[in-house]
Chain A
Amino acid sequence: MTFLSALLAADAAPAAAKVAATAAPAAHDAPAAAHGPVDTIIQLFGSFGVDGPHLLIQLINFSILAFVLYRFAIKPALGQMEERNRLIEKGLADAQAATQRLAEAQKASDAKLNAASDEAAKILADARNAAKAAVEAAKAEATAAQTEVIAKAKAAIEADRVKMMNEVRGEVSRLVVETAAKVLEQNLDDATRGRLNEAAVKQLAR
């Protein structure tokens, strides 16, 4: 209706002239005027070049054009847009899934790090305990070895002391006996020796 009103407004003067021109003969053709407003409208459209067959053909053309446009332009474009939307949605979903997986991976990584930290702490504690035990064992062994060495040294010193004492005692005894023998040899005269011999004979006889 707007399009039609614009057309009517734009061509009001020439159309009025044409209508006036045609109205005169129409007065002569009273039966024609008697056809009614529909015919008038049709005639009016006809005067603008709009008649039924042309309109039908244009409708058909428009339909064909619309079909072609829809079939080969709009529909593929819509399909591409849907595909693009689908891809975008998929990308968003993938991104969300990736974010979730990243969070899970982060959580798993944190858990593994915690476990590794605990394991490292345990290993470190075990190593410290083992080192402490090894140090204690080494200390005990060193102490035992030291004790053994000291005992051996004491025994060797005691043996040396006893040996030395024996040697000294033997040497002193030898010197005493030698001295006594020399003194006796120098001081005993034959009379004394004779008396001693007689005493020995008496001792033998007993």
Chain B
Amino acid sequence: MSAASVRAEAKRLLALSLEGGVVSSELVGAVLAALTKSRSAHQLRPLLRAYLTNVRRELARGEARIEHAGPLSPADADAIAAHFSKALGRPVRPVARRNDALLAGFRVRVADDVTDLSASLRLANLAKSLS
């Protein structure tokens, strides 16, 4: 299979794995089971790699990865996720991780979009404006 056909097949498999616009673990399991039965090993490997990339990207599209300094209450995390769900028009769930290097505030990444409200970014911008 050519790379283009692999990408197209992986895209089709991802579409089969969505349930209500969200990746479903059951559907992913079914797709993988069907693939292992219908494809040979040498065809399966590049297709699975492309499928994994698409699933990860789709999962990232549905996650708000929040890096925060200090404590962040679950209510605040949910508020952040609700904000991005409303802005992007699709359900987004919060995934929080503490990172004190940000000094204060938080940085949110949804798919390829990054929103930074941290004190480290403010200081970096201040250093840039001073230099």
Q: In the complex the two chains form, what is the Cα distance from A81 to B72 in whole Å?
A: 159
CB–CB A181/B120 < 8 A: yes
Closest Cβ of chain A to B29, distance in Å, is 36
Contact A177 B124 (CB under 8 A): yes
Q: Given A176-B130, A193-B71: A184 and B104 within 8 A (CB)?
A: yes
B70 contacts the other chain (CB 8 A) = yes
B26 within 8 A of A: no
User: Is A184's CB under 8 angstroms from B103's CB?
Assistant: yes
A157: Cβ under 8 A from any B Cβ: no
Q: Are A198 and B127 in contact (CB under 8 A)?
A: no
Q: Are A197 and B130 in contact (CB under 8 A)?
A: no
Task: Please indicate the chain A residues that have their CB under 8 angstroms from the CB of B128 in the complex.
Answer: 173
Bound together, the chains give a CA A169 to CA B100 distance in angstroms of 27
User: Is B127 a contact partner of A204 (Cβ separation < 8 A)?
Assistant: no
A157 to B56 CA separation, bound complex (whole angstroms): 55
- The B55-85 residues at the A interface (CB cut-off 8 A) are 68-73, 76, 79-80, 83
| Count, chain B residues at interface, CB 8 A | 27
Output the least CB separation between B41 and chain A (Å): 48
Q: How far is the CB of A123 from chain B (nearest CB, A)?
A: 69
For chain A, the count of residues having a C-beta within 8 Å of the partner chain is: 25
> Are A205 and B70 neighbours in the complex by a CB distance under 8 Å?
no
Give the A-B pair count, Cβ closer than 8 A.
79
Residues of A with C-beta under 8 A to B106: 197, 200-201
Bound-state CA distance A194–B76 (Å) is 10
Main SS class of interface, A: helix
Q: Across the interface, do A190 and B119 meet the contact criterion of CB distance under 8 Å?
A: no
A172 interface hit (Cβ, 8 Å): yes
A46 within 8 A of B: no
| CB contact between B123 and one of A172, A180, A193, A196 (< 8 Å): that residue | A180
- CA A194 – CA B106 in complex, angstroms? 10
A174 within 8 A of B: yes
Which chain A residues have a beta carbon within 8 Å of chain B's beta carbons?
166, 169-170, 172-174, 176-177, 180-181, 184-185, 188, 190, 192-194, 196-198, 200-201, 203-205
15 A–B pairs (Cβ distance < 8 Å), ordered by A: A170-B130, A173-B130, A177-B123, A177-B124, A184-B123, A185-B100, A185-B103, A188-B104, A192-B104, A193-B69, A193-B104, A194-B73, A197-B71, A198-B73, A201-B76
- List the 8 shortest-distance A-B pairs measured between CB atoms, nearest first: A193-B70, A170-B131, A173-B130, A177-B127, A196-B104, A200-B117, A173-B127, A200-B105
16 more contacts with CB within 8 A, not counting A170-B131, A188-B70, A196-B104, are A173-B131, A176-B127, A180-B123, A181-B120, A184-B123, A193-B70, A193-B71, A194-B71, A197-B72, A198-B73, A200-B105, A200-B106, A201-B76, A201-B80, A204-B83, A204-B117
Interface residues, chain B, with chain A CB atoms under 8 Å away: 68-73, 76, 79-80, 83, 100, 103-106, 108, 115, 117, 119-120, 123-124, 126-128, 130-131
